Amino acid sequence: MAKTLLLMRHAKSSWKEDNTKDVDRPLTKRGKKDAPMMARLLKKENLHPDLILCSSAKRSRHTVRAMLEELELSDEIVIELDNLYLAEPQAYLEAIHEQSENAHCILVVGHNPGLEALAQVLSDSVISLPTATVAEIKLPIKKWSDLNEKTEGKLENVWKPKELKKK
Protein backbone atom coordinates (compact mmCIF):
# COMPACT_ATOMS: atom_id res chain seq x y z
CA MET A 1 0.00 0.00 0.00
CA ALA A 2 1.31 3.41 -0.95
CA LYS A 3 1.52 6.40 1.34
CA THR A 4 0.56 9.96 0.42
CA LEU A 5 2.75 12.89 1.34
CA LEU A 6 1.36 16.40 1.00
CA LEU A 7 3.94 19.20 1.00
CA MET A 8 2.63 22.68 1.65
CA ARG A 9 4.50 25.91 1.88
CA HIS A 10 3.07 28.18 4.57
CA ALA A 11 0.55 30.79 3.44
CA LYS A 12 1.61 34.36 2.57
CA SER A 13 3.30 36.09 5.48
CA SER A 14 3.81 39.74 6.30
CA TRP A 15 7.03 41.69 6.03
CA LYS A 16 5.40 44.91 7.28
CA GLU A 17 7.09 45.15 10.66
CA ASP A 18 10.84 45.50 10.37
CA ASN A 19 11.53 44.59 13.99
CA THR A 20 9.67 41.25 13.84
CA LYS A 21 11.91 38.18 13.91
CA ASP A 22 11.52 36.00 10.83
CA VAL A 23 10.17 33.10 12.89
CA ASP A 24 7.43 35.38 14.29
CA ARG A 25 6.07 36.83 11.04
CA PRO A 26 2.24 36.60 10.88
CA LEU A 27 0.02 35.79 7.91
CA THR A 28 -1.28 38.53 5.63
CA LYS A 29 -4.98 38.87 4.73
CA ARG A 30 -4.25 36.87 1.58
CA GLY A 31 -2.55 34.17 3.63
CA LYS A 32 -5.56 33.95 5.96
CA LYS A 33 -7.83 33.41 2.92
CA ASP A 34 -5.57 31.05 0.99
CA ALA A 35 -5.02 28.52 3.79
CA PRO A 36 -8.71 27.59 4.24
CA MET A 37 -9.16 27.62 0.45
CA MET A 38 -6.40 25.00 0.15
CA ALA A 39 -8.02 22.97 2.92
CA ARG A 40 -11.27 22.95 0.94
CA LEU A 41 -9.33 21.80 -2.10
CA LEU A 42 -7.79 18.89 -0.16
CA LYS A 43 -11.23 17.91 1.05
CA LYS A 44 -12.62 18.07 -2.49
CA GLU A 45 -9.72 15.92 -3.72
CA ASN A 46 -10.47 13.41 -0.94
CA LEU A 47 -7.06 13.95 0.65
CA HIS A 48 -7.47 13.64 4.41
CA PRO A 49 -4.29 14.06 6.45
CA ASP A 50 -4.01 11.62 9.34
CA LEU A 51 -1.14 13.69 10.68
CA ILE A 52 0.20 17.20 10.14
CA LEU A 53 3.87 18.03 10.69
CA CYS A 54 4.38 21.75 11.01
CA SER A 55 7.31 24.10 11.35
CA SER A 56 7.23 26.02 14.63
CA ALA A 57 7.32 29.35 12.75
CA LYS A 58 4.23 31.47 13.43
CA ARG A 59 3.29 31.62 9.74
CA SER A 60 3.31 27.81 9.47
CA ARG A 61 1.36 27.31 12.70
CA HIS A 62 -1.26 29.87 11.63
CA THR A 63 -1.52 28.25 8.19
CA VAL A 64 -2.34 24.94 9.84
CA ARG A 65 -4.75 26.54 12.30
CA ALA A 66 -6.61 28.20 9.42
CA MET A 67 -7.00 24.80 7.72
CA LEU A 68 -8.09 22.58 10.60
CA GLU A 69 -11.71 23.74 10.77
CA GLU A 70 -12.22 23.36 7.01
CA LEU A 71 -10.70 19.88 7.14
CA GLU A 72 -12.81 19.03 10.22
CA LEU A 73 -9.68 17.93 12.04
CA SER A 74 -8.53 18.31 15.62
CA ASP A 75 -5.30 20.03 16.54
CA GLU A 76 -4.37 16.73 18.24
CA ILE A 77 -3.03 15.47 14.91
CA VAL A 78 -0.65 18.44 14.57
CA ILE A 79 2.99 18.06 15.57
CA GLU A 80 4.96 21.30 15.68
CA LEU A 81 8.68 20.81 15.17
CA ASP A 82 11.38 23.43 15.68
CA ASN A 83 13.73 21.54 13.35
CA LEU A 84 11.37 22.09 10.39
CA TYR A 85 11.89 25.85 10.54
CA LEU A 86 13.85 26.66 7.34
CA ALA A 87 14.78 22.96 7.16
CA GLU A 88 16.74 21.11 4.52
CA PRO A 89 15.24 17.96 2.94
CA GLN A 90 17.06 15.65 5.37
CA ALA A 91 15.33 17.23 8.39
CA TYR A 92 11.93 16.75 6.74
CA LEU A 93 12.78 13.14 5.88
CA GLU A 94 13.86 12.43 9.46
CA ALA A 95 10.66 13.92 10.88
CA ILE A 96 8.45 11.95 8.47
CA HIS A 97 10.51 8.79 8.98
CA GLU A 98 9.59 8.72 12.68
CA GLN A 99 5.81 8.73 12.16
CA SER A 100 3.41 5.86 12.76
CA GLU A 101 2.67 3.53 9.88
CA ASN A 102 -1.02 3.96 10.79
CA ALA A 103 -0.93 7.38 9.14
CA HIS A 104 -1.65 6.92 5.44
CA CYS A 105 -1.51 10.61 4.53
CA ILE A 106 0.83 13.15 6.11
CA LEU A 107 0.66 16.88 5.44
CA VAL A 108 3.94 18.74 6.00
CA VAL A 109 3.69 22.53 6.32
CA GLY A 110 7.03 24.27 6.07
CA HIS A 111 9.34 26.49 4.07
CA ASN A 112 11.29 26.91 0.87
CA PRO A 113 13.82 26.10 -0.40
CA GLY A 114 13.71 22.91 1.68
CA LEU A 115 10.23 21.79 0.59
CA GLU A 116 10.96 22.29 -3.11
CA ALA A 117 14.20 20.35 -2.68
CA LEU A 118 12.35 17.57 -0.82
CA ALA A 119 9.81 17.31 -3.64
CA GLN A 120 12.68 16.96 -6.10
CA VAL A 121 14.44 14.32 -3.99
CA LEU A 122 11.27 12.23 -3.63
CA SER A 123 9.73 12.65 -7.09
CA ASP A 124 12.61 13.67 -9.33
CA SER A 125 10.43 16.65 -10.32
CA VAL A 126 11.48 20.28 -10.15
CA ILE A 127 8.50 22.26 -8.92
CA SER A 128 7.78 25.72 -7.64
CA LEU A 129 5.97 26.09 -4.32
CA PRO A 130 4.74 29.67 -3.95
CA THR A 131 3.02 30.42 -0.65
CA ALA A 132 0.11 28.10 0.26
CA THR A 133 0.86 25.76 -2.66
CA VAL A 134 0.29 22.04 -2.04
CA ALA A 135 2.11 19.20 -3.79
CA GLU A 136 0.82 15.63 -3.62
CA ILE A 137 3.40 12.85 -3.80
CA LYS A 138 2.53 9.14 -3.81
CA LEU A 139 5.22 7.03 -2.19
CA PRO A 140 5.70 3.30 -2.84
CA ILE A 141 6.26 2.47 0.84
CA LYS A 142 4.31 0.53 3.48
CA LYS A 143 5.82 2.28 6.50
CA TRP A 144 7.06 5.83 6.94
CA SER A 145 10.24 4.34 8.41
CA ASP A 146 10.98 2.98 4.90
CA LEU A 147 11.16 6.53 3.50
CA ASN A 148 14.58 7.82 2.51
CA GLU A 149 16.25 9.95 -0.16
CA LYS A 150 16.29 6.96 -2.55
CA THR A 151 12.51 6.48 -2.40
CA GLU A 152 11.08 7.03 -5.87
CA GLY A 153 7.73 8.72 -5.42
CA LYS A 154 5.37 10.06 -8.04
CA LEU A 155 4.31 13.70 -8.13
CA GLU A 156 0.54 13.48 -8.62
CA ASN A 157 -0.55 17.12 -8.34
CA VAL A 158 0.59 20.64 -7.56
CA TRP A 159 -2.13 23.11 -6.60
CA LYS A 160 -1.33 26.83 -6.46
CA PRO A 161 -3.79 29.28 -4.88
CA LYS A 162 -3.42 31.84 -7.70
CA GLU A 163 -4.34 29.21 -10.31
CA LEU A 164 -7.35 28.05 -8.29
CA LYS A 165 -8.65 31.60 -8.01
CA LYS A 166 -8.65 31.92 -11.82
CA LYS A 167 -11.03 28.97 -12.21
Please give the pLDDT value at position 167. Answer: 63
The pLDDT tens digits for 10-63 are 999 988 777 788 899 999 999 999 999 999 999 999 999 999 999 999 999 999
What's the pLDDT tens digit per position in 139-167? Answer: 999 999 999 999 999 999 999 999 887 76
DSSP 8-state assignment for residue 27: B
What pLDDT does residue 67 have? 97
Look over the chain and give the mean of its residue pLDDT values, rounded to a whole number: 95
Residue 97 CA to residue 4 CA, distance in Å, equals 13
Residues in the chain: 167
Say what percent of the chain tops pLDDT 70. 99
| 53, β-bridge pairs | 79, 108
What is the spatial distance between Cα 62 and Cα 54, in angstroms, rounded to a whole number?
Answer: 10
Average pLDDT over residues 78-101: 96
Residues 123-134 pLDDT 10s: 999 999 999 999
Q: pTM, whole model, 2 decimals? A: 0.96
